[in-house]
Amino acid sequence: MNSRLESGVADRSVSQRRTLPLWLKYGVILLIVAGVFFRFYNLDKKVYWIDETNSSLRTLGYIRSEMVEQLFTGELLHVSDLRQFQQLDPNRGWGDSFQALSATAEHTPLYFLVARAWIGIVGHSVAAMRAVAAMFSLLVFPALYWLCQELFKTDPDLAMADRRQPQAELVGWIAMGLFAITPIHLVYAQEARPYSLLSLLTVTSSALLLRALRLPSRRSWLLYGLTLVLGLYSQLLFSLVLLTHAVYLLLTRPQRRGFWLAAGVACLSLTPWLLNLAYNWEKVKQSTTSIYDGSPQGSIFDRWFLNLNIALVSQELGAANLILVAVVLLALALLCRIAPKRSWLFVLLLVAVPFTVLALPDLVAEGRRSSRIRYLFPSLFGLQLALAYVFAAFAVWAKTWQDWFWRIVMLALVIAGCHAAVVSSQAVVWWNKSTPRSSYYPVVGELINQSANPLVIIMSSPTDTLAFSAWLRPDIAIQLPREPRKFKLADGYDPTYLVNPSDQLKKVLTRRGYDLSLAYTDHADPDEIEERLWRVKKRP
């Protein structure tokens, strides 16, 4: 009788340990509220950088070559003339948008077409464009909870036998709390780019796959196949998610005809865009040349470690970057030890497959694919699922030193995320806006705007010029020279400024009797200091 009583007490203890405590539930609700708030707060106050400007340009139906031909003539213009390429023209319809998107084939069109429909209703603005990404990010919350339900669902009897296996509900709540305030999800929820949509379809397609494997039916595989089509047309990077699913099936249930049929149809559906990609291949190579730029292997390892810290705590910790890497690897190891194989294998593949596909070419040919943090969303979701599971297993009820260690890690990530959310919400330029390329916009713009009648000569790239011009008064006169030797300064303005001038333009003006004085030096990148702003004055 005593043994049965002790067994009953033990069972109740394990059952209580696996339930959702009220303090955790209310804490996660607060984090979700904060996460929703910070996804929409100050949407239009941050730098609308080059990539986002490209998003607007394509969505509104403008082609870059068209803008160059109209504006980069060296003739006298005003900033307001540039604004037309960031406004919705009623004479430009869906056909123009699709034509502009087809010309930049490295990006599949789904996100931009959704944005086109949205701004057709509310009008184009920085806040409107970013609101699309923010709304997709909100939909990740229920999708992530659902994925945890499908991924970590266990047999009750087996779960009771292993006191460390947490309920899927508990893992789902913790995963939502982490997602709410994780820096990388917050900052890209406020960026007019497809990464929030990629996140949503990564999580949703994974949940639908696991559901179709658990409850196979024609409807289940049809819905899964639909998310694959949407995913491939939201980002070509989604192909790494599909590859992850395929490897998982090969290692577990290769006989599932429904998956191979859905995957095959989804890949066939992408054929028109792949043909368009092949047709525009030279343009695509020019647009993506930076990912092929070589970097020493030692520096790419440093970048991997830095990216993990930036993604989870938004901090560069120097040599201490290794600490978070070690913690995440330990969480993956614990996941593999205590979770069912079907669960840990899926998470491990979600981390490893996308990262490996991007990293191997970088190690062989010294590229930069795997150092682009925005390319690693599937892998980062896998890492966060591992952390959520370990926190649910150890951190919620802290009794042993191991429990307390994981509780401290969980609280540290939450505090770091909340701190990063507050700081980034007030920042005009943050790390996801490419600080070396964008931080000079507000500073140089303010210097120029202080002058009553300035002339500004800009020699940046077309989209950089468009992004920078948003910080100038609409009435300011500008010239956009294409050929410095044929360029002639307009008269009647004082002062005259050069923004990002080429050495050739500086030499031409000097030979024509102008003195040039440096007005602003950009130290955003200590390794490559840029002389951004020059003042031009005619010699007496």
pLDDT tens-digit map of 322-346:
899 999 999 999 999 999 999 999 9
Question: In terms of Cα–Cα distance, which of 521, 483, 527 is closest to 499?
Answer: 521
177: its two tokens: 């709390």
Dist. CA 362–CA 359, nearest whole Å: 5
- pTM value is 0.92
State the average pLDDT over residues 152-159: 63
pLDDT of residue 205: 98
Dist. CA 180–CA 141, nearest whole Å: 8
Question: In terms of Cα–Cα distance, which of 204, 210, 202, 201 is closest to 249?
Answer: 210
pLDDT exceeds 60 at position 2: no
Dist. CA 499–CA 454, nearest whole Å: 12
Residue 353, classed as helix, strand or coil, is helix
Question: In terms of Cα–Cα distance, which of 222, 220, 270 is closest to 109?
Answer: 270
- CA 393 → CA 82, 390, 404, 459, distances in Å? 56, 5, 12, 57
- 534 neighbors 519 (Cβ within 8 angstroms): yes
Q: How confident is the model at residue 298 (pLDDT cuts 50, 70, 90)?
A: low
User: What is the distance, to the nearest Å, from the Cα of residue 139 to the centroid of all Cα atoms in its chain?
Assistant: 16
Phi and psi angles of residue 427, each rounded to the nearest 5 degrees, phi first: -85, 135
**Which helix (H) or strand (E) covers residue 374, if one does?**
none
Q: How confident is the model at residue 319 (pLDDT cuts 50, 70, 90)?
A: confident
Q: What is the pLDDT of residues 35-91, one digit of tens each?
A: 999 999 999 999 999 999 999 999 999 988 888 999 999 999 999 999 889 888 888
The reply to whether omega before 216 is within 30° of 0 (cis) is no
Dist. CA 206–CA 187, nearest whole Å: 23
Q: How confident is the model at residue 251 (pLDDT cuts 50, 70, 90)?
A: very high
Dist. CA 70–CA 57, nearest whole Å: 14
pLDDT of residue 425: 93
User: What is the distance, to the nearest Å, from the Cα of residue 361 to the centroid of all Cα atoms in its chain?
Assistant: 21
Phi and psi angles of residue 536, each rounded to the nearest 5 degrees, phi first: -115, 135
In DSSP notation, 90-149 reads TT--HHHHHHHHHHSTTS-SHHHHHHHHHHHHH---HHHHHHHHHHHHHHHHHHHHHHHH
pLDDT of residue 360: 92
DSSP state letter for 396: S
Assign 3-state DSSP to the chain and report helix, strand, coil percentages, each to 5: 70, 5, 25
State the average pLDDT over residues 132-154: 95
Dist. CA 427–CA 92, nearest whole Å: 35
pLDDT of residue 175: 97
462: its two tokens: 């077309």
Per the listing, tokens 């590859």 go with 243
Dist. CA 138–CA 268, nearest whole Å: 30
State the average pLDDT over residues 16-30: 83
pLDDT exceeds 90 at position 465: yes
pLDDT exceeds 50 at position 11: no
Dist. CA 425–CA 37, nearest whole Å: 10
pLDDT exceeds 90 at position 189: yes
User: Pairing mode, if any, of strands 455-458 and 496-499?
Assistant: parallel
74: left (phi > 0), else alpha (psi -120 to 50), else beta?
left
Residue type, 263: A
- 133 neighbors 192 (Cβ within 8 angstroms): yes
Each as own residue / partner, the long-range contacts of residues 359-363 (CB below 8 Å, 24 or more positions apart, any chain) are 359/304, 362/295, 362/300, 363/297, 363/300
In this structure, of 103-107, 131-135, 168-172, 375-379, the range with the lowest mean pLDDT score is 103-107
- 66 neighbors 467 (Cβ within 8 angstroms): no
Report domain extents, the chain.
13-41+128-281+295-433
pLDDT of residue 255: 74
439: its two tokens: 């931080």
**Which helix (H) or strand (E) covers residue 398, if one does?**
none
Dist. CA 494–CA 483, nearest whole Å: 23
Arithmetic mean of pLDDT over the chain: 90
pLDDT exceeds 90 at position 19: no
User: At a CB cut-off of 8 Å and minimum separation 6, what does 398 contact?
Assistant: 404, 406, 407
In this structure, of 96-105, 140-149, 364-373, 531-540, the range with the lowest mean pLDDT score is 364-373
